[in-house]
Homo-oligomer: A and B are copies of this chain.
């Protein structure tokens, strides 16, 4: 069956590790502008102002930085069952059912060949705003409190893997994801691949690991309503001493307006805006970028900076990345 499968509804949340928990939490709340939904001994549960679930970022105290797990929500109990069956029938590593974080019901965990842990679930906890976070407009999940950069919702994440082609097989097999754009290197390998499970242009990207490491995170991204909010965020990051790595500028790939910073522990975090762009075509064919294309730089000519190719979290011991 070649038609879109949509068993998976959307990227649901990312667990980020930090070895500077207090500084990271302060950054995400007061500078990046997320809201704390809940907190336990190890983790804080955070959300953007219009995320409909309890949390979209689980920030966890850890001896390293990087990504804990990546969660997607299924479209229905039946769709979840179909996905679990497909994963179990595959050659990818199954971890099995777990009880789930405070923000959702039981989840099925599995792993990509590069050590990233994924989970899928259906039962969830929709955010019930407490009195002080209740919005004036009933179609919003939460109050527009306008603190810090204040993005609207989780958008996507970017993982690193040694073999993007193999990662693509994982995403297609396990999540039924579609490839919307990709980089075809002159050496025949895929340099990067952008995936979606719905009408978003992408919710997960995978680019080549150049540090010889495994299970690393490249970045996590939230979406703003406007490009102006990203320009404004740049001033906020500047004033708060946050390391701005690159941007604001517009990606050639996907056309996303972007800004990359490093949160206090070193994890790369992005703010992005895709304008009105959606992938509506059910038979969308991946856009293929060659090395020649890539030499033109980003959409308006900005050269990709070196650390973008080398910095991932956790960092690779003994390598200078910044």
Contacts and interface: CB of A to CB of B under 8 A. Distances in A.
Copies per complex of this chain: 4
A235 interface: yes
Main secondary structure of the interface of A (DSSP, over half): loop
A280 interface: yes
Nearest to A53: B281
A103 interface: no
A10 B280 contact: yes
Interface string A41-75: 00000000010100000000000000000000111
A76 interface: yes
Interface in A1-55: 1-4, 6, 9-10, 50, 52
A100 interface: no
Nearest to A2: B76
A228 interface: yes
Contacts of A116: none
A131 interface: no
Contact of A253 (B139, B245, B254): B139
Interface residues of A, number: 80
A4 to B, nearest CB: 6
A91 interface: no
Contacts of A151: 276
A198 interface: yes
9 residue pairs, one from A and one from B, having the closest CB atoms:
A225-B275, A3-B76, A228-B228, A223-B276, A199-B199, A10-B280, A9-B282, A75-B282, A139-B287
